[in-house]
């Protein structure tokens, strides 16, 4: 498969290939330049090539989500999740996927603590484990809380890189979108007033919570360069623009605070079949 990228750096971009009903076929990603070379040669006649694949599935090992709560003032109120995922592909540092998301979630909570603010609802920062090749962190959290989903007011995950924030994706019912107009006005000076309502975000770690009715949110970021580096050896810290990350921290702090103090109920997420 030609790497899913808009750039030409001769870097393969890794990922997963899954088959149903127990079918197993080898799969590989090749760089854009190599894919074009193969296409040109194949157009001239039969093409043979040697491809060495080294991936392997190792035995399971223990790993952990990391959780931290900023306790709400109302012990009977719900929880708002603010999250990113810890793991990354081993080609590089995982700076934009998803070190930036974890750092932004942690930074948002730090801002609230530094300002001495206590939300009404508890804000729970989660750094998920195993998002990339199994999603077991999200599944484990769901399994541990599937009988307490009504106590989860909303869930946020940042897993779209480290681009400049433009607004918010909101997985809420159409009639609930108007509840966020005050937040949109507050985000205008940040340059991120857009609210894009969707029926479902399909955000990796939040999928089961979303299916269980928990409204899900994600920062709407400029992703024009995201797939230049995504899942490749180029995903290094130098790709993170400090000002963009600071803005993402500010957006998540405002979104988390707003959700944690909303007087109205959002309503449960749209009922969808995945």
Q: Which residues are known to be catalytic?
A: 131
Q: Is residue 165 a contact partner of residue 248, using CB atoms and an 8 Å limit?
A: yes
Cα–Cα dist 5/224, whole Å: 10
Here the tokens at position 89 are 């592909």
Nearest to 63 by CA among 131, 158, 153, 150: 131
Cα–Cα dist 192/186, whole Å: 9
Nearest to 165 by CA among 252, 74, 262: 252
Give the DSSP per-residue string, 208-237: HHHHTT--EEEEEE--TTHHHHTTSTT--G
Give the position of tokens 């050896």: 233
- How many C-beta neighbours within 10 Å does residue 92 have? 19
């Amino acid at each position: 498969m030609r790497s899913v990228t808009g750039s030409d750096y001769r870097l393969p971009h890794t990922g997963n290939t899954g088959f149903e009903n127990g079918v197993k076929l080898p799969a590989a990603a090749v760089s854009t330049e190599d894919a074009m070379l193969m296409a040109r040669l194949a157009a001239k006649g039969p093409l043979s090539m040697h491809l060495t694949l080294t991936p392997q599935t190792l035995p399971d090992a223990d790993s952990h989500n990391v959780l931290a709560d900023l306790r709400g003032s109302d012990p009977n109120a719900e929880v708002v999740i603010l999250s990113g995922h810890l793991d990354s592909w081993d080609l590089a540092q995982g700076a934009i996927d998803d070190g930036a998301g974890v750092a932004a979630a942690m930074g948002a909570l730090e801002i609230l603590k530094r300002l001495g603010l206590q939300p009404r609802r508890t804000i729970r920062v989660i750094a998920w484990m195993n998002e990339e090749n199994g999603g077991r962190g999200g599944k484990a959290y769901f399994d541990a809380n599937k009988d307490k989903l009504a106590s989860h007011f909303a869930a946020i995950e940042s897993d779209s890189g480290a681009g400049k924030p433009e607004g918010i994706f909101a997985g809420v019912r159409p009639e609930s979108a108007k509840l966020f107009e005050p937040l949109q006005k507050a985000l205008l000076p940040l340059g991120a007033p857009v609210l894009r309502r969707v029926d479902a975000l399909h955000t990796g770690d939040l999928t089961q919570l979303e299916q269980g009715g928990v409204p899900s949110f994600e920062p709407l970021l400029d992703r024009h360069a995201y797939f230049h580096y995504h899942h490749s050896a180029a995903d290094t810290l130098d790709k993170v623009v400090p000002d963009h990350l600071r803005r993402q921290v500010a957006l998540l702090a405002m979104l988390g605070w707003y959700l944690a103090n909303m007087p109205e109920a959002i309503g449960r997420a749209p009922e969808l079949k995945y």
